[in-house]
Structure 1
Amino acid sequence: MQFKNPFVKEKAVSAASVDYETAEVSSTEGLSATEDEKFDGVLDGSGDHKNPFTDPNVAEKFRQLYEDSQYESRHVFDPDFEWTKDEEKRVKRKMEWRVAGWACIMFWGLQIDRNNLAQAVSDNLLEDLKLTTNEYNYGNMIFYLSFMSAEIPSQLVSKRLGPDRWIPIQICLWSAVAMCQGALQGKSSFYATRSLIGLLEGGFIPDLVLWLSYFYTSKELSIRLSFFWTGLYLVNVLTSLLAFGILRIHSGGLAGWRWLFIIEGLITLCIGLASFFRMPASAVSTKKWFRPNGWFTDREEKIVVNRVLRDDPYKGDFHNRQAITPFTLYKCLSDFYMWPIYAIGLLAYIGDSPEGTYLTLTLRHLGFSPFNTNLLTIPVSVLKMILLLSFTWLSEKINERSLVSIIQPLWVMVLVIALRFYPESGINVWCTYTILVLLLGGPYIHAVVVAWTSRNSNTVSQRTVSAAMYNMCVQAGGVAATQIYRKDDAPFYHRGNTQLIIISGATIALLIVTKIFYVTINKRRDRKWSAMSKEEREEYAQNSTDKGSRRLDFRFAH
């Protein structure tokens, strides 16, 4: 099967023409052209890859755009290039191992150093440092505030240095601080390390998503992200087993939780050092002195680059070392079309966050030992992995985000209601544990919403800033979550659980409003587009100064 080229059709029409009669794009396997399909010429944020390159003039326009931006892969952009389905499958298999596979490992490094605090708490960290649960809350709040404040600065640094340089630096720095937690002495050092780790980890996820977008199409990205977050929960299982052994170490006069920080920080440091050699700047930059043959042949490089550009032509409007100017930053931040997704990030993950933070403490209070406590957290991670993959697959299968995402806050609301009105007398340990497992192991929509953010951005600069803004909102929600369970509300947290029920209800309403918002905008643009003549559409496609999601020929995913 050959992938025919949409750039060189003899019938010259604009990238936005509804009269184009010969293009069909496969959502995951590449580009093909047939004579019996119609293409409406609209850039679709849903990731269905409707072809924007039907007119040679449009192809030339983008060629000039790539030249002006000094896009690093512009020399392999080829409107006449064709490839087969089997060739693309082989290239994707290489990327799964070398790009997505290593991205998973780097994600694991992040989760190791984020998850081990809860494990350390199960081994009397609070007692050894003379911390109250409120001070533990403040430490988590400081982490989220630091993480949040570093998001946009990290993205700006990453865009200037390149994520292939900045991400390994981040991993090495935060792993060094993570190991230093083995020397914690009290509240001040606890707060200081929480802040430093937050500052150094902030921006890591958007940086990595940006790097992945150089290799994968928009529809492929959300599935890969779901595997990454699934990998994180697999790491939770593995680190829980590891903690079961490490927490028994008490040599050298150090408590088990101190060895936990030192050993797991060292593991992450090794991942960071290896990442300097495992992250090429782009698909055309894999040949290095330590990798003379590179990852791809010359032909495979062209396949990687051209399939990504045919999915999203604006991925070439910035080169991978180009800094974002203050004006560009302002334009991206003021794009109100992205604000509903930011609001979702703010609310969507609060509902089960306090319970997750207090899980190991709750299990200890229910009478379990430090070692059994860590083993009992494993079912949460296993259930989370299953539901994360299932709901991400469902979202892509039916091309639906808002309504699929509603399942998460609805799930949380039902189970928090069970906790809120659980009888205080005659508490059954295993019944309480079952509710917590179902609550914390429920659907997780983060992978769906991260990919949703990327799809609706439509330019590299907007994608860079919007990913950081979304993650900032997620961390802001995390800050709020740290203050919901308070000492004066212990041990049943009736007030806190009531607040979580209200927040879950608000999240459901927000997702419905977001769906209505994007559908309304798309229909309004459809009406304007339909009212334009073919010549007007061609003129708009060629000369409009509208950028990104503000373009009249762009449709939002919802």
Structure 2
Amino acid sequence: MAQFEGKYDVPYSSGSGSGAASEIGFNAERDWQPEEEAKAKRKLDLLIMPLLTLGFFCLQLDRGNIANAITNDFMEDIGVTQNQFNVGQQMLSLGIVLFEIPSNMVLYRVGPGKWLTLQLFLFGTVSTFQAFQNSYGSFIATRFLLGITESGFIPGGLWTLSTWYTRRETAKRVMIFYFGNQFGQASAKLLAYGILHMDGAGGKPGWFWLFVLMGVFTILCGVVLGFFLPDSFKNPHPTFAPKWDLFTERELYILNRRILLDDPAKGQKKKRIGLPAFKKAFSNWRMWVHLLITMCNNGPQRGFDTYAPSLVKEFGFGSLTSNALASVGLFIQIPVSFAFSYISDHFNKRGETVIAGLSMATLAYVLNRIFTEIPNRGLRYFGVIWTQTFGTFSHPLNITWMSLTCTDSEERALAMAMVIMGANSAGIYGAQLYREDDEPRYRRAFTICIAVLSLGVTLAAIRKIDEIITRRRNEAVAADADSTGYEQVEVLGTAKERGASFSDGVAGALPQPGRVSGDVKPVVAAET
């Protein structure tokens, strides 16, 4: 058991046994005032959330600036066709998919402070050197390298949030984290509107300066993370200032203890992720359903985001104006996504918000498909706005829903990697939806998107029905136990069965000893 120096001993386990809470003699009592917890959590919010959101903002700037570059004759300048450009986008997603889990395993071993900081330096450098590509080969190579260096950052950030916050606090923080993605998408287009005016400066095209300025900004933000992002409760210090105490001992004690009160399994972190963890995560069918939901949601939107400025340009707007207009829906998405996140978190409506979001996204592509036949650029632009508003925020909501089914930090780390791999696998097929032989109306692309998103809505509904059935079964068992007069009974069953009940707030208590009929031996209320 690792302890912080000083008065407060924090029950953080790095051992490998099960039932860590009982092994370390953890007492389910809150020996602090609510005001102390609120103050410590506020400090955590002001430190962790802006840094992770800033990192995601930089990632999206570097990943998405290519969409703005193509309105500035990028493809013509380096000599690639639209279909070849799509292959480059596939290589980006492939690099992320191939290195997602290895990257997350490194993060799990060395800590998020060190690894996420290093990643900003790496993909910031690759993004900067995109400015010097001059052929199809260099384009493919830089996109693949960017995917490799970005791999693991998003699941690493999500996993970091899950270690610092309780289950009921997670959805809102995940949405704030994804605010960096949304704000990055929107801001990139507005920034591009300004930066592309530098076309011809120093004898370079505007897209050259787009890559250079955004890449250098990312590297500078890596310095910020290095000085302020802590690793974990066990090592609560930033990478570049290993002796700097970001929290007091009392604050760390409260922050860590409240996490273990909410979910004792978070105290069972091991030094590395072993084979049993892989088997546990990959054999959980609910994880695969959430992964498929992600693939249905992200594939259509990945292609649409890439070509949104070009679509607006086809409506008759100027090249630079198109980048600015393509940011409007992304800015509207931010308050809408916060509203859905609030409903998900406050009213514990995980599945309902995912289903609603996917349904709105499906409607968006129905509108796009209809508006392609109407020669009115106002209606067509409305279709773009609606698609951007409702296109992506179901993804973080689905991630939160999925993470609440995990029973320990190992499974959670792998689950995060799995779902982000699914998101980027979706990018592989999504990159080829918008092809030269289908432009400018993209009838085929919009039809495929409608079918794929309809499948996503169906899968989310199936998962919600499973959740309802599981909860009712557990409630029936609990009611039966109460009628017999026993103090406690094993209601939640195996870890897999218990997964569904997490999202309904059923499994928040610590494992407690109980008795069953005729057996005086203590049993654990829920498998850990």
Q: CA deviation at 1:95?
A: 0.7
| Residues 1:439 and 2:387 aligned together | yes
Could you report, residue by residue, the CA deviation over 1:109-161 in whole angstroms, capped at 9, with x for unpaired residues?
A: 11111121111111110110121111111111111122122211111111122
How far is the alpha carbon of 1:478 from its aligned partner? 1.9
Partner of 1:269: 219
Say which of 362, 382, 387 aligns to 1:413.
Answer: 362
Structure 1, 446-455 or 519-528: larger mean CA deviation: 519-528
Q: Secondary structure at the match of 2:180?
A: helix
- Give the distance between the partners of 2:468 and 2:222, measured in 1 at CA: 43
Give per-residue Cα distances to partners, 1:347-366, cap 9 Å, x unaligned.
Answer: 12334433222111112222
Match of 1:214 among 154, 163, 170: 163
Q: How does 1:47-126 map to 2 (within 5 A)?
A: 79=28, 82-126=31-75
Task: Choose which of 347, 371, 385 in structure 1 pairs with 2:296.
Answer: 347
**Mapping of residues 230-269 of structure 1, within 5 Å:** 230-249=179-198, 250-269=200-219
Q: Which residue of 2 aligns with 1:395?
A: 344
In structure 2, the residue matched to 1:509 is: 458
The answer for the alignment partner of 2:509 in structure 1 is none
With 477-486 and 186-195 compared, the bigger mean Cα shift is at 477-486
**One-letter amino acid matched to 2:249:** D
Q: How far apart are the structure 2 equivalents of 1:80 and 1:311?
A: 11
Contact 2:372 2:380 in 1 (8 A): no
Residue 54 of structure 1 corresponds to which residue in structure 2?
none
1:133-282 to structure 2, matched below 5 A, reads: 133-249=82-198, 250-282=200-232
What amino acid is the match of 1:433? Y
Distance (whole Å) between structure 1 residues aligned to residue 207 and residue 11 of structure 2: 56
Report what 1:326 is aligned to. 275
Unaligned runs of 5+ in 2: 1-9, 505-528
Counterparts of 1:389 and 1:122, CA distance in 2: 31
1:386-421 C-alpha deviation (Å, 9 max, x unpaired): 211111111223211222222223223323223223
> Any conservation in 2 of the 1:351–1:409 contact (CA below 8 Å)?
no
Corresponding residue of 1:300 = 251
Question: What CA distance in whole angstroms lies between the structure 2 residues aligned with 1:146 and 1:519?
Answer: 38
Match of 1:557 among 503, 506, 515: 503
Over 3 Å counting, the alpha-carbon distance change for 1:219 and 1:190 in structure 2 is same
- CA–CA separation in structure 2 for the residues paired with 1:345 and 1:365: 29
Q: Secondary structure of 2:375's partner?
A: coil
Q: For residue 286 of structure 1, what is the aligned residue in structure 2?
A: 236
Q: What is the alpha-carbon distance in structure 1 between the residues aligned to residue 117 and residue 226 of structure 2?
A: 6
Q: Structure 1 residues 520, 81: closer, same or farther in 2, change over 3 A?
A: closer
**1:12 match:** none
CA distance in 2, matches of 1:216, 1:64: 15
The number of residues matched between the two structures is 487
Q: Please, which runs of 5 or more residues in structure 1 have no aligned partner?
A: 1-61
Partner of 2:261: 310
> Structure 1 residue 166: deviation in Å?
1.2
CA shift digits 1:289-323 (9 cap, x unpaired): 9475622222211110111111111001114xx11
Alpha-carbon spacing, 1:68–1:362, altered in 2? closer, same or farther (3 Å): closer
Alpha-carbon contact 1:286-1:296 (below 8 Å) kept: yes
Q: Secondary structure at the match of 1:219?
A: helix
Shift of residue 190 of structure 1?
0.7
Give the superposed CA RMSD: 2.8
2:16–2:269: 8 Å Cα contact kept in structure 1? no
Q: Which residue of structure 2 aligns with residue 336 of structure 1?
A: 285
Residues 160 and 287 (structure 1 numbering): CA distance in 2 closer, same or farther, change over 3 Å? Answer: closer
Deviates more, 1:224-233 or 1:428-437: 224-233
* Counterpart check, 1:129 vs 2:78: yes
Q: What is residue 406 of structure 2 aligned with on the other side?
A: 457
| Cα deviation, residue 272, structure 1 | 1.4
Deviation of 1:215 (Å): 1.7
Query: Structure 2 length as normaliser, TM-score?
Result: 0.85
Give the share of equivalent positions with the same residue, in percent: 27
Distance 1:104 1:512 in 2: 30
How big is each residue's C-alpha offset from its partner over 1:502-530, in whole Å with a ceiling of 9 and x where there is no partner?
11221221111111122223333444555
Q: What is the alpha-carbon distance in structure 2 between the residues aligned to residue 101 and residue 420 of structure 1?
A: 38
Alpha-carbon distance in 1 for matches of 2:502, 2:478: 15
- 2:325 is equivalent to residue 379 of structure 1: no
1:555 is displaced (CA, Å) by 1.8
> In 2, distance between residues paired with 1:100 and 1:220?
12
Higher helix share: 2
